[in-house]
Amino acid sequence: MAEKPIPGLAKLEQSVGVLAGVGPAKKEALAKLGVECVGDLVRLWPRAYQNRGDTKSLLEIADRLRNGETGPFSTVLTVSAEPQTRYIRRGMVITKVRAFDGTGSAEITWFNQPYVAQRIHTGETYRFFGRFAWEYNRVQINSPISEPWREDLPLPAIVPVYPVSQGLTQRFVSDAVLSALRYAGDELTETLPTDALEEMRLPSFGYTVRAIHRPADVSEMETARRRLVFEELYYMFLSMALTGAASRQASGPLKLADTDLSDFLAALPFSLTGAQARSVGEIVSDMAGENLMNRILTGDVGSGKTVVAAAAMYAAVKNGFRAVLMAPTEILANQHAEDLSKLFGTLGVKTALLTGSTKKKERAAILEGLRGGGEIKIVVGTHALLTEDVVIGDLGLAVIDEQHRFGVHQRAALFDKAKNVHCLVMSATPIPRTLTLAAYGMIDVSRIDELPAGRQKIDTFIVNETYRERLNGFIRKQAAEGHQTYVVCPAVEESEKGNDTDAEEMADLPLVDAIPEEGAPMKSAVQHADELAEALPELNVGFVHGKLKSSEKDRVMAEFAAGNLDVLVSTTVIEVGVNVPNATLMIVENAERFGLSQLHQLRGRVGRGTAKSYFILVSDSTKPEAQDRLRAVKSTTDGFEIAEYDLELRGPGDFFNETGAIRQHGQMNFRLAAACRDPHMIERASHYARRTAEEDPGMTKPANASAARRLASFTRRTEKTQN
Ligand code: ADP
Ligand code: MG
């Protein structure tokens, strides 16, 4: 029995439970993908497509296989004998069948899918799609997808592949998407400016969603995709333009009079790099200007952003204001508090740390110290700072570290706190110069494009699966020397690999897509941790990933930081912020699945101490593009250069939504971005977005009502992909 729709709520915002066939269990499984409402399903973009329509004869396939191609292929065959099922070893079942066309015959084998025997009948014709091999002088087909073939009822040529999680099959998700489209019907309204669509020759939203989920051919899919690229860019720029517009207000009494930082600089144990000094200059001149500062400070991990932010805080304090630094996790907040209390201690400026773990009594004392004449001038903390009872008197500057890691509600509260004060966002996401040109005028950017002198170089290697034993040996060696290792995997759990037991599940096949999708099995953090623990019994192996409770995550991270774990297996949750100088080795599994900037940021997690450090990319991909990308990471350590290269390859989407390479939701972003190599598109999207923001800064005009909803879901979705 389907859930009742909530009256007064738009159809797109109704829970997925209103759709027939989506019961509580499926609802929960969908939620794991970040799908909660009907609109989420409508926008659950396929992560790839299978081109099953391009059927070939067995003769041609045999030729291609002998030439080293591996497919996937699609072929139409007639079954010549009843399937034979055999039980081999414990729990292993294989089902074999022979089939033929006018040019030859093939042997088809399914592993552990005994039920296919019931679906495949002698004399019937099927379309088989999957992985083929040339063995024993014959075409062998392994666990293909089979679809009954009828001349009069053509099968779809292009089949979407959706992200799935445990408890979901491709078929279920695909059907659910269709019922969502039917349910939403007339509410799939256009949210882009008409003249933008005309100028860019883009299809309507209605056409787009149909074509993206059920394309008749490749060109329809491409047309739809182009529109989604534009839309993604437009909303990205719109959300930036709207925040930028809001905070570009007169600085009034917050305009700093005294900008002399010589005593601060003298207290530092080092001198600033040129890039740091330039950034400090830009920040101070903002704060001494007519408008409130709204600036991003970007620079590689380890480039020294904290001390630049500290200079800004010192300038605020010197002028009689307080400053706050907000970090997305407790670990980061602790680290900042420690650094800043050391630095400001020598300058006689009192700092404090306020997080969820701060004891009640201490918290009360801190709140007291932050009032009017209180002596605490700088407070560092997590979102615990955002509760109502925290009132910071004379607040002049809010520094936000890695703001994309905060949830949206927190972010709203954050910017609410920072609304009438100078605002500085720190980010390790390198924003490429070319992109910033377009975004310019929305937020100002300072770049630290130079590392402090004397940093050691991290050696980067690219290896494949044949190195597994040696990799394990290398981990052992690091541990024997008292050092620690990070191992990063693209997926959290087995199910994300897509090799479900359903015969229709072929999600890990190479696909029609710009992004290389390898057949190579994808390492999942959970299983890989198991394997490593088995291979390295003498070591302590732990794992963390975004699906763990945050208290559990923090606990494991703390164990690793304390040196109690030799190996930490994780997804990209460790990408930002943790500082474990004793970690000297990072191994990235299925490296081809990660964005370049992301790999670069991961690399920054090692080499933080004095010991020689290594970054090893494991990839079995033989695709030239994949190899080129990995070589780019090996060949340069300049984050901005890598970002440029990444932009060229993928487009901008990910720079503002930097997350896991394998998204739980909104995965299309990644792919969309791949389709977007068009600076003109970026430029036009920012033009129209800026115009909308200027015409309707509050997004309150009735004509913008559905765009405003879309914007809200854009930010909500961004939030969901952040863990
Ligand atoms: P990130 O940009 O990743 O936040 P941090 O601010 O944490 O980098 O700085 C990394 C390390 O570099 C810190 O230990 C800091 O003290 C040190 N550092 C920063 N600037 C300089 C400098 N100009 N010279 C030497 N060391 C520096
Ligand atoms: Mg930092």
> DSSP for 230-248?
HHHHHHHHHHHHHHHHHH-
| Whether residue 471 has pLDDT greater than 60 | yes
Atom 24, ligand 1: residue with shortest CA distance: 452
pLDDT at 280: 98
> Separation of 458 CA from ligand 1 center, angstroms?
17
Q: Which ligand is nearest to the CA of 308?
A: 1
**Residue 278 and residue 315 in one domain:** yes
678 part of a folded domain: no
Helices 596-603 and 639-650: crossing angle in degrees, nearest 10, is 160
The token pair at 248 is 């570009």
**Residue 176 and residue 283 in one domain:** no
> Separation of 278 CA from ligand 2 center, angstroms?
18
| Whether residue 496 has pLDDT greater than 70 | no
| Whether residue 336 has pLDDT greater than 60 | yes
- Ranges 93-107, 223-237, 336-350, 482-496: which has the least confidence: 482-496
The token pair at 517 is 């999708």
pLDDT band at 193 (very low <50, low <70, confident <90, very high): very high
CATH classification of the domain holding 128 = 2.40.50.140
**Cα(560)–Cα(557) distance, integer angstroms:** 5
Q: What's the gap between Cα 574 and its chain centre?
A: 12
**Cα(453)–Cα(304) distance, integer angstroms:** 11
**Cα(376)–Cα(371) distance, integer angstroms:** 9
Based on C-alpha coordinates, what's the Rg of the chain? Answer: 28
Does residue 482 contact residue 582 with C-beta atoms inside 8 Å? yes
Could you tell me what percent of the chain has a pLDDT over 70?
83
CATH classification of the domain holding 392 = 3.40.50.300
**Cα(598)–Cα(584) distance, integer angstroms:** 18
In this prediction, residues 678-695 reach a mean pLDDT of: 83
**Residue 274 and residue 181 in one domain:** no
> Separation of 207 CA from ligand 1 center, angstroms?
51
**Residue 25 and residue 116 in one domain:** no
Could you tell me what percent of the chain has a pLDDT over 90?
41
**Residue 607 and residue 479 in one domain:** yes
pLDDT tens track for 268-278: 999 999 999 99
**Residue 69 and residue 26 in one domain:** no
The reply to whether omega before 697 is within 30° of 0 (cis) is: no
**Residue 16 and residue 125 in one domain:** no
User: Between residues 719 and 328, which one has the greater pLDDT?
Assistant: 328
Length of the chain: 723
Does residue 79 contact residue 123 with C-beta atoms inside 8 Å? yes
| Whether residue 218 has pLDDT greater than 50 | yes
| Whether residue 346 has pLDDT greater than 70 | yes
In this prediction, residues 54-81 reach a mean pLDDT of: 91
365 part of a folded domain: yes
- Average pLDDT over the chain reads 82
**Cα(52)–Cα(217) distance, integer angstroms:** 11
Atom 13, ligand 1: residue with shortest CA distance: 304
In this prediction, residues 628-656 reach a mean pLDDT of: 72
pLDDT at 351: 97
Q: Which amino acid is at 546?
A: G
228 part of a folded domain: no
In this prediction, residues 643-659 reach a mean pLDDT of: 54
- Ranges 545-554, 555-564, 590-599: which has the least confidence: 545-554
**55 φ/ψ sector (left φ>0, alpha ψ -120 to 50, else beta):** beta
Atom 12, ligand 1: residue with shortest CA distance: 304
719 part of a folded domain: no
Does residue 399 contact residue 324 with C-beta atoms inside 8 Å? yes
- Ligand 1 pocket residues where CB is under 6 Å: 270, 272-273, 276, 299, 301-307, 452
In this prediction, residues 1-22 reach a mean pLDDT of: 88
Ligand 1 atom with least separation from CA of 335: 7
In this prediction, residues 45-50 reach a mean pLDDT of: 80
Which residues form the domain of 330? 256-289+304-427
**Residue 422 and residue 280 in one domain:** yes
pLDDT band at 262 (very low <50, low <70, confident <90, very high): very high
**Residue 120 and residue 269 in one domain:** no
**Residue 43 and residue 57 in one domain:** no
CB atoms near residue 316 (< 10 Å): 26
Catalogue the E-assigned strands of 557-644.
567-570, 583-588, 614-618
103 part of a folded domain: yes
Q: Which ligand is nearest to the CA of 299?
A: 1
| Whether residue 209 has pLDDT greater than 90 | yes
pLDDT at 158: 87
Q: Which ligand is nearest to the CA of 454?
A: 1
646 part of a folded domain: no
> Separation of 454 CA from ligand 2 center, angstroms?
18
In this prediction, residues 649-654 reach a mean pLDDT of: 50
Q: What angle do CA 236, 242, 245 make, to 5 degrees?
A: 135
**Cα(378)–Cα(382) distance, integer angstroms:** 14
Q: Is 553 exposed, middle or buried (0-12, 13-18, 19+ CB in 10 A)?
A: buried
| Whether residue 502 has pLDDT greater than 50 | no
CB atoms near residue 534 (< 10 Å): 9
In this prediction, residues 158-180 reach a mean pLDDT of: 87
| Helix H or strand E encompassing 308 | helix 305-318
pLDDT band at 406 (very low <50, low <70, confident <90, very high): low
The token pair at 255 is 């305009």
The domain tally of the chain equals 4
**Residue 273 and residue 418 in one domain:** yes
561 part of a folded domain: yes
pLDDT tens track for 424-457: 988 877 666 656 544 545 677 888 988 888 777 8
Pocket probe mutation, ligand 1, options 270, 329, 344, 399, max atoms within 8 Å of Cβ: 270
Atom 10, ligand 1: residue with shortest CA distance: 302
Does residue 218 contact residue 50 with C-beta atoms inside 8 Å? no
| Whether residue 509 has pLDDT greater than 50 | no
pLDDT band at 54 (very low <50, low <70, confident <90, very high): confident
Ligand 1 atom with least separation from CA of 401: 4
Does residue 490 contact residue 590 with C-beta atoms inside 8 Å? yes
Max CA-CA distance within the chain? 91
| Whether residue 362 has pLDDT greater than 50 | yes
For the entire predicted model, the pTM comes to 0.60
pLDDT tens track for 524-544: 788 888 899 999 999 999 988
- Residues whose CB falls within 8 Å of the CB of residue 603, separated by 6 or more in sequence, listed in order: 458, 460, 586, 615, 633, 637
Phi, psi of 586 (to 5 degrees): -125, 130
19 part of a folded domain: yes
Ligand 1 atom with least separation from CA of 305: 2
Atom 18, ligand 1: residue with shortest CA distance: 304
In this prediction, residues 67-83 reach a mean pLDDT of: 88
Atom 17, ligand 1: residue with shortest CA distance: 304
Boundary-marking domain end, from 636, 663, 692: 636
**Residue 18 and residue 132 in one domain:** no
| Whether residue 674 has pLDDT greater than 60 | no
